Amino acid sequence: MPELPEVEVTRRGLAPHLTGRVISGVAVRDARLRWPIPRDVLALAGRTVKTIRRRGKYLLVDCGDGHLILHLGMSGSLRVLPPGTPAEKHDHFDLVLGDRLLRLRDPRRFGAVLWTSDAVAAHPLLVHLGIEPLSPSLNSTRLYALTRAHRTAIKQFLMDGRRVVGVGNIYASEALFRAGIHPRKSARRLSAKDCERLTKAIKVTLRAAIRAGGSTLRDFVGADGAAGYFQQRYWVYDRAGKKCRRCGKLVRKVLQGQRSTYYCPTCQR
Ligand SMILES: [Zn+2]
């Protein structure tokens, strides 16, 4: 499943192919994604793409008088291809931009293609999203203040997109390891120092993943075939029973809210 780093790498890869280009055509082969693709998108031809931004795991294509909202769901990928490239079975949506096209492939159809001409930040899917983890808005003071009212385990707090957006299961485990914080520690029991280490760890973890993706996903533009979500070397994620890379003790796995959490009992207190 594409996480925030994959979406950010996709955004960076797509930006030079979209920005400033005029939409010359739209193709909807199967509108039945997570929500039906609205008919409005068929009328996008003639608009110029101003920029492409990201909010959480949503990509926002700014068309001046409105935004195309894209989400990759569980299995979606976006690629830039020459116009006229034959569509395959799961290629549900194309945005044609003159001499290139943006194509959404989504075998499981949990992705989304939506349109809004209202203020995009107020869109029902976006309005409740929490702080962007890579923005200056996520800082230790803010995290300390936000966690005060929550008895939930810090791991689950981090994965709640209404607090901080886009820190999924993998990155929550990894960031807590880097910060030396036990995943079951109650959010409101984090000290100011914990919040400082955790804020830093979240940013470092996500940035490292984006860097890794930037090198391994370079070929998503123009390439054919699988989406190729990037593989990384994790500290604890998916390493239950293996030796901690820092102290050598065995990494443990526990379930928190039906999700697997990985941690080192020695390095994380
Ligand atoms: Zn350890």
Give the dihedral sign, CA 15/21/22/23: negative
Of 88-97, 107-116, 213-222, 253-262, give the lowest mean pLDDT range: 213-222
CA–CA separation, 186 vs 181, rounded Å? 10
User: Per the structure block, which two tokens stand in for 195?
Assistant: 């919040």
Ligand 1 centroid vs 266 CA: distance in angstroms?
5
What is the reported pLDDT for 214?
Answer: 64
- Residues 3-26 have a mean pLDDT of 93
Whether the Cβ atoms of residue 70 and residue 63 lie closer than 8 Å to each other:
no
pLDDT (0 to 100) of residue 230: 62
Query: pLDDT value at position 1?
Result: 80
pLDDT at 213: 77
Residue 72 has pLDDT above 70, yes or no: yes
Backbone φ and ψ for 82, nearest 5 degrees, come out as -65, 145
- How many CB atoms lie under 10 A from the CB of residue 27? 15
What is the 176 CA–ligand 1 centroid distance (Å)?
12
The alpha carbon of 99 and the centre of ligand 1 are apart by a number of angstroms equal to 52
Cβ(28)–Cβ(93) below 8 Å? yes
Q: What mean pLDDT value characterizes the chain?
A: 92
Global pTM?
Answer: 0.91
Q: Which amino acid type is present at position 85?
A: T
> Which tokens in the block code for residue 228?
């190729």
Alpha-carbon span 46 to 56, nearest angstrom? 28
Neighbouring residues of the ion ligand 1, judged by CB less than 5 Å: 244, 246-247, 264, 266-267
Task: Check pLDDT > 90 for residue 212.
Answer: no
Q: What pLDDT is stored for residue 226 in this prediction? A: 41
Instruction: Report how far ligand 1's centroid is from the alpha carbon of 228 (Å).
Output: 30
Known catalytic residues are 2-3, 57, 259
The pLDDT score that the predictor gives to residue 231 is 66
